[in-house]
A and B are shown apart, each in its own frame.
Chain A
Amino acid sequence: MRVRRIGHDETRVELQMTPMIDVVFQLLIFFLFTFKIRPIEGEIAVTMPPPEAGQAQQSEEITVADRIHIKLQAGAGGQLANILVEEQAVGTDLAALGRVLRELAGNPPPEDLEAEIDADGRLLYGHVIQVATVVMRSGIAKVRFTDPGG
């Protein structure tokens, strides 16, 4: 038997979509405007002990002779003029520097091998970092910078 229901039960409940869509669009616009593509950052991890500890270590390390000395000379405008590896001029070619370093480091390079970068004070930081990257890619795990003043 069919029961016919009367009254308000029959009215359909309708969801109000408009406010939600408004808010959602607001959010979308916020994220669109704050969106910014940042270039990927990499790092060169350097471990440098404080000056007192560094001095004590230095004398010990010299006897082991596991340090490669890299001198960077600056030219006009802070550009890289010459690279000297153990007093041997390499020029400014970073690929050549990589070859020389790989040869010096041997295969596989010893774990405690360290490269000491002695950069001219006028040399631009970008060049120093490029050289440091080449050093790390040639298998030398540790990089340090000389500090004549400290």
Chain B
Amino acid sequence: MRTREARYAIPELDMTPMIDMTFQLIAFFMFVMNFSTELVREEIQLPVVQLAQPVTQSKVEPIVLNVDSDGSVYLPGEVINVMTPDGLAQLNSFLYREAALARLRMRAAGLPPDSPLNSTVIIRGDRATPFDVIRKVLRSCREAGFVHYSLRAETRAQ
């Protein structure tokens, strides 16, 4: 009788391969996920081009301006419309503030005070935006003293 009972031992499930696989999956998702620090609005449909230069990462923190087709610009914490004088004034004051901050940072880094601003303005414009809107945004940026711009587009092969 004793030998019989030994046969009914509880079968144990081997968990190791499953845990291996699960960790693999978690590692994959962790690496693939981009915790983008850029303020990216998903609803903006970028212009589609066949071949654009890959995005160069600058060492200096960029300023991101998301421009929608109706002239809305998404600033951190608020939405303004550049087609209204009020909105344009708000955009200007935001850009002047950013330019002043960038100048302070440059001074802290030991650059000469009259050198052009080294921060980049990233413009993520919707493809259906009339160019007047983009021109207005660019003009405000230039008046604030910015020099480098990165116009974003979606790269799609033919």
Contact = CB atoms under 8 A, between A and B. Distances in A.
Interface of A: 17, 20-21, 24-25, 27-28, 31-32, 34-35, 38-51, 54, 78, 119-126, 128-130, 132-133, 136-137, 145, 147, 149-150
B93 interface: no
Main secondary structure of the interface of A (DSSP, over half): mixed
A42 B143 contact: no
25 contacts: A24-B19, A24-B26, A31-B29, A39-B156, A41-B152, A41-B153, A42-B152, A43-B55, A43-B153, A44-B150, A48-B149, A50-B142, A120-B131, A122-B132, A123-B130, A123-B131, A124-B130, A125-B47, A128-B131, A129-B49, A129-B151, A133-B52, A133-B153, A147-B138, A150-B142
Contacts of A41: 46, 52, 55, 152-155
B142 A42 contact: no
A38 B36 CA distance: 11
Given A28-B29, A31-B30, A48 B55 contact: no
Contact of A39 (B23, B51, B122, B154): B154
B85 interface: no
Contacts of A133: 49-52, 153
Contact of B53 (A25, A43, A128): A43
A123 B132 CA distance: 8
B149 A47 contact: yes
A121 B142 contact: no
Interface string B114-158: 001000001001111111111100110011011111111111100
Contact of A28 (B26, B32, B147, B149): B26
A123 B128 CA distance: 9
Given A49-B116, A130-B47, A34 B33 contact: yes
Given A24-B19, A42-B54, A149 B148 contact: no
